Structure 1
Amino acid sequence: MTLKDKTIIVTGASSGIGERLAHQIASQGGNLLLTARSEEKLTNLQTELKELYSIDCRIYKADLLDLNAWKSALNKMISDVPRIDAIINNAGFGIFDKVEEESKWEDTENMFRLNVFALIQGIQQLLPHFISNRAGHIVNIASQAGKISTPKSASYAATKHAVIGFSNALRLEVEDYGIYVTSVNLGPVATNFFHVADPSGTYQKSVSNI
């Protein structure tokens, strides 16, 4: 399906996979609603995309760990444009440790808050818009970690299991409205994700042999 003149939300858009998705969508004539924590990075990306592709690109600074901030940002998106055609829930992070070595409950809680709760909240908030249009596409960036167990990824994998399970059930609920739901189960990708998730590099080395 063509992306020309479609309006698409991308979360976690300021770097890595989100940034590349934004370029890919813009290169095909899609308009963008981008959100991330860094306003400076979003502004730079917005300028670049407009100059390269002559598309409409709007930015919304929000830390999705703050569910109220995410709710406010999404409300503004819905009010700013007449129609939203898709959302790509890309924002997420992981901390990789063995369960016995996990020392910060806050890390586990924040993984669920961002990877699962923010994703579900955003979809619930946007769903009436899609239903009223009898169209829409929800793309949830999950992970092979949600399908294949590996050491040191128990909590992160649990969040991605949740995303896959939620996506599979949601797909059945909304298919009669003409709404599509896709879960994308990536393997390891060379981005800054692993600088936070696995500073030692041992997890990356272990999964590279799978």
Structure 2
Amino acid sequence: MHDFLNKTILITGASSGIGEGLAKSLAARGANLILLARSKDKLYDMKKVMKSEFSIQCDVYVVDLANSQARTEVFKRISEHYSTIDALINNAGFGIFDSIEDIKTSDMEKMFQVNVLALIEGIQILYPALSTAQKGHIINIASIAGKIATPKSSVYGATKHAVLGFSNALRLEVEQEDLYVTTVNLGPVKTNFFQTADPSGNYQKNVARYMLDPNDVVEKIIDTLFKRKREVNLPRWMELGSRLYHLFPGITERLLKKQFNKK
């Protein structure tokens, strides 16, 4: 088990799902944490547990990352308080599965605000603290949806495609700082993500046997921390599918049409 004693790690979307799992596992390994989420009660409960059970430093910031002004203020406060942040895990994000004729403009804007702009702005403002870390690490949670286009996830997929493009360019920009950049591209995971993305539950039923265990995802991300790794792709067979898709998009769309329309 990796020891992250004296490492300071910031996690967005930390109050549930993968973010909560990461916080608990990293605290158990001795990491000091900076946790961001919208849920005030949950964050402060987590802070209390982390400090009492693991004797680590845990600071929490309540913020809605869809609110540009609020997130800017929070990122600046963190930047002023911390001279060094060893790792930033951009886990916050959400999706709404809707056809283009049905999706609301407000939902499209919010997805881009949270999934893309908050991620980029956080890195930009926190960059001085990240660049002073020895072998610091930025982990951006993207999605297989950013690699393979499927119906009813056109906007969500576009946000994750943007995360991949940004991360690939950022990796080249910061390599001289000995700062690692990794994208984590996930298929469906058993979390509350689908409460918003798929409130009917139909998609979850259709892909139930393919869904990833969040605990396995957490351990894979932690195993990647502070290592020079370009991508983590889960499940692996979906990554193989994405490679086939990029080589033969038309053929792949025809062969996998039934699977692509599970939403």
**Normalising by structure 2, what TM-score?**
0.75
CA distance in 1, matches of 2:71, 2:44: 18
Which stretch shows the higher mean deviation, 198-207 or 159-168? Answer: 198-207
Displacement after TM superposition at 1:132 (Å): 4.2
Q: What does 1:94-133 correspond to in 2, within 5 Å?
A: 94-102=95-103, 104-133=104-133
CA distance in 1, matches of 2:132, 2:189: 36
When the two chains are superposed, the root-mean-square deviation of aligned CA atoms in Å is 1.6
Residue 90 in 1 paired to residue 91 in 2?
yes
Q: What does 1:21-170 correspond to in 2, within 5 Å?
A: 21-102=22-103, 104-133=104-133, 135-170=135-170
Displacement after TM superposition at 1:133 (Å): 4.5
Partner of 2:12: 11
* Contact 2:90–2:141 (CA under 8 A) maintained in structure 1: yes
* Contact 1:64–1:70 (CA under 8 A) maintained in structure 2: yes
- Quickly say closer, same or farther: Cα 1:83–1:128, change in 2 above 3 A: closer
CA distance in 2, matches of 1:58, 1:138: 19
* Contact 2:84–2:132 (CA under 8 A) maintained in structure 1: no
> Which digits, 9 at most, give the CA deviation of each residue in 1:142-188, with x for residues without a partner?
01111122221111000000001110110011111100001000111
Deviating 4+ runs (over 2 angstroms):
78-82, 128-135, 202-210
Fraction of identical pairs, as percent: 56
Query: Where does the alignment leave 5 or more consecutive residues of structure 1 unmatched?
Result: none
* Contact 1:142–1:163 (CA under 8 A) maintained in structure 2: yes
* Contact 2:142–2:186 (CA under 8 A) maintained in structure 1: yes
Partner of 1:189: 189
Corresponding pairs, count: 209
SS for the counterpart of 1:184 is: strand
Question: Rg larger in 1 or in 2?
Answer: 2
* Contact 1:142–1:160 (CA under 8 A) maintained in structure 2: yes
Displacement after TM superposition at 1:52 (Å): 1.9
Query: Where does the alignment leave 5 or more consecutive residues of structure 2 unmatched?
Result: 211-258
